[in-house]
Structure 1
Amino acid sequence: MSEAPAAPRAASAERARANGIGLLVRPPEPRAGWRLLPARVVAMCAVELQKLSHDRTELYTRAVQPALWLLIFGQTFTHIKAIPTGGIPYIDYLAPGIIAQSAMFIAIFYGIQIIWERDAGILNKLLVTPTPRSALITGKAFAAGVKSLIQAVVVIIIAALLGVALTWNPLRLLGVAAIVILGSAFFSCLSMTIAGIVLSRDRLMGFGQAITMPLFFASNALYPVSVMPGWIQAISKVNPLTYQVDALRGLLLGTPSHLLLDYGVLLVAAAVGITAASSLLGRLAR
């Protein structure tokens, strides 16, 4: 009676050995379809987190500029009361704009990294893998979002220490994280698209510096859209940073906002940015 169960166990062991030998002579099937994009995004995000864990200096240095904006610009204009803010202190009004600005400044130069990867030969190695180009760009875009999200947390902590009345509702903070990642995904794709056109780091630096401040000042980060001249109002309506700041303000401060419109605009902008950057990735690698 003890020998009866031995036969099934022996057959199972034989099948396991056969499968093991099969894996040695036949590689496992690569991820395909819907499984590929999440895997690439997670891999790229993990790479960014590893970089930050090895060198935290970037976090400290990047915290200086938003701290100065809040300490000097925010405190000064709070006392002057020259900008209409709907009855809230100006430093409170400014804080979401500085969060968006800090995230944009990280993402907008992300194309420099992809040019460096091309020069180091890494990009060509990635392009010969079965990974679609759109998956590579999406992974890099959301990796930029992770880095920007860490920066946003630093700015939120600074703002809280300065007495800004921010919400700590977990659902609203999740919404803040989503809007920061979406905005950063678009600006990083914009940077990678420019990289695919100009093809060099020096030119990209010039273009990045030329567009960051106009994007910042032609948004509602520092002042309401209603106080802008008409032609700047027209620019602000097609500026994704305006919608990012509007959503951040509504989520963090509870001010009137248009969250569905804000999320919709940023989702479309991120999708367009991924498509444009993906189409130029091959040109960058030549």
Structure 2
Amino acid sequence: MKHLEIDARLKDWDSFSGSRRWRRRSPWQAIAEFLNKTLVITELEVRKLRHDPTDLIVRAVQPVLWLLIFGQVFTRIRGIPTNGLPYLDFMAAGILAQSVLFVSIFSGGMSLIWERDLGLAQKFLVSPTPRASIVLGKGLASGVRCLSQVFVIYTLSFVLGVQLNFGAIAMLGVLLIVFLGAACFSIFSIIVACIVKSREGFNGMGQLMTMPLFFASNAIYPIEIMPPWLQVISHINPLTYEVDALRGVMLSNGTSLYGYGFDAFILLSVLIVLTFVGGRLYRKVGI
């Protein structure tokens, strides 16, 4: 008889605790929990940067070379239409976007492959953290990582005489676009790393991702001078909208073809889609 009473109490407790769990997991609370776990992953990834910041210094060399050599040479060429902008001004926003692209592509996917080889990815897989939170957290951490590139490009552009907009709202607009763009391309590289799964294979895929994305955009020349087939690719390339937004807010005399709001909406939409896809593919890392 006592056994039946205990059994009944346990069943009541299970139903009660289950109802409590159901009430606790309201939609808003589920979203808050998702964001909290995402920020935990972000903080964990950013902490790695504090222990080894040399990667940011190395990554800053490439955009410096582009502005100092490529920009100085092409400034003397008058055949590239830039809507009245000096070519170095036109190019500065594109080089900032290029720097963000290269850092986010190689930091996102390569770090995932290292974690898989060290067994850390498998530990994330057995944790209760949603896969999408892991992927989004890594993407947001890449956004934080790329904010240093803004300082590098702004400093060099100012030295070279680029007409920059140092207004507070403009600076916040630049940081937001850099953050969204870095998160997008970092998650894109994570998706590729989930499929490739080897360091050698990803190194080759990294070049295959960065160069077409860079040259099929408006980073160093306007879309109008591209052949028609390349213009189609450029209009579906997220880097095009990142460059367009940066060109509108970063330069004191710059303009945005599509509008800052539309560019930010495109990048945010791409980020949401890639996060969903990356969350679905992340489980394959442990296979």
Q: Structure 2-normalised TM-score?
A: 0.85
**Contact 1:48/1:147, CA 8 A, preserved across alignment:** no
Question: Which residue pairs with 1:263 in the alignment?
Answer: 264
Superposed CA deviations along residues 178-216 of structure 1, whole A, max 9, x for unmatched, are 111111111111111111112212111111111211110
1:1-286 → structure 2 map (5 Å cutoff): 33-109=30-106, 110-253=108-251, 254-257=254-257, 258-286=259-287
Residue 223 of structure 1, CA deviation: 0.5
Amino acid at match of 1:38: L
For structure 1, the 5+ residue unaligned runs are: 1-28
What value does the CA root-mean-square deviation take over the aligned residues?
1.7
| Residues in 2 aligned to 1:191 and 1:262: alpha-carbon distance in whole angstroms | 21
Larger C-alpha radius of gyration, 1 or 2? 1
| Residues in 1 aligned to 2:53 and 2:281: alpha-carbon distance in whole angstroms | 32
Percent identity, aligned pairs only, is 47
Residue 39 of structure 1, CA deviation: 2.7
**Contact 2:109/2:192, CA 8 A, preserved across alignment:** yes
**Contact 2:93/2:243, CA 8 A, preserved across alignment:** yes
Superposed CA deviations along residues 93-131 of structure 1, whole A, max 9, x for unmatched, are 000000000001011121111111111111111122211
**Contact 2:41/2:133, CA 8 A, preserved across alignment:** no
Q: Structure 1-normalised TM-score?
A: 0.85
**Contact 1:41/1:143, CA 8 A, preserved across alignment:** no
Residue 38 of structure 1, CA deviation: 3.0
Residue 80 of structure 1, CA deviation: 2.1
For structure 2, the 5+ residue unaligned runs are: 1-23
**Helix, strand or coil: the match of 1:131?**
coil
Residue 82 of structure 1, CA deviation: 2.4
Give structure 1 regions of 4+ aligned residues with deviation exceeding 6 angstroms.
Answer: none
